[in-house]
């Protein structure tokens, strides 16, 4: 489930739920029951910062990716992520799932 990011699905014809930056105030992690591994790769010319949205709906900075850099993280199916550019503008959101473990920024 991605908005503003491309994913590499394990299966064809998977359409992610459209989560968008305008809805950020509604995002929050729910539980930590089902773990999933995710890889974020920055294919943009500028830096991209990754933020996990915690249980209170607050953004927690995890990593700033340079162009071409990849970050592997274990997260949970109910933990949303936000991607921000160098100006801290939201450029994408990601809700983990088992079908799209690779996110291209």
Distances (CA, A) of 83 to 12, 21, 72: 25, 9, 15
Q: 19 exposed, middle or buried (CB, 10 Å; 0-12, 13-18, 19+)?
A: buried
Q: What residue ranges define each of the domains in the chain, with the CATH number in brackets? A: 2-104 (2.60.40.780)
Predicted TM-score (pTM) of the model is 0.82
pLDDT-derived band at 98 (thresholds 50, 70, 90) equals confident
| pLDDT tens string 4-31 | 554 444 444 433 344 678 888 888 999 9
| Nearest in space to 71 (alpha carbons), one of 63, 60, 61, 80 | 63
Phi, psi (5° rounding) for residue 62? -110, -45
- Residue matched to tokens 């991605």: 2
């Amino acid at each position: 489930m991605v908005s503003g990011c491309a994913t590499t699905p394990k299966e064809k014809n998977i359409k992610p739920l459209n989560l968008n930056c305008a809805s950020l105030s509604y995002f929050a992690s729910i539980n930590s029951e089902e773990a999933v591994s995710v890889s974020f790769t920055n294919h943009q010319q500028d830096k991209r910062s990754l933020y996990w949205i915690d249980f209170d709906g607050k953004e927690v900075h995890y990593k700033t990716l340079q162009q071409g850099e990849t970050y592997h993280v274990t997260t949970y199916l109910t933990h949303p992520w936000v991607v921000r550019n160098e100006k801290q503008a939201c450029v994408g959101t990601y809700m983990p799932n088992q079908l799209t473990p690779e996110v291209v920024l």
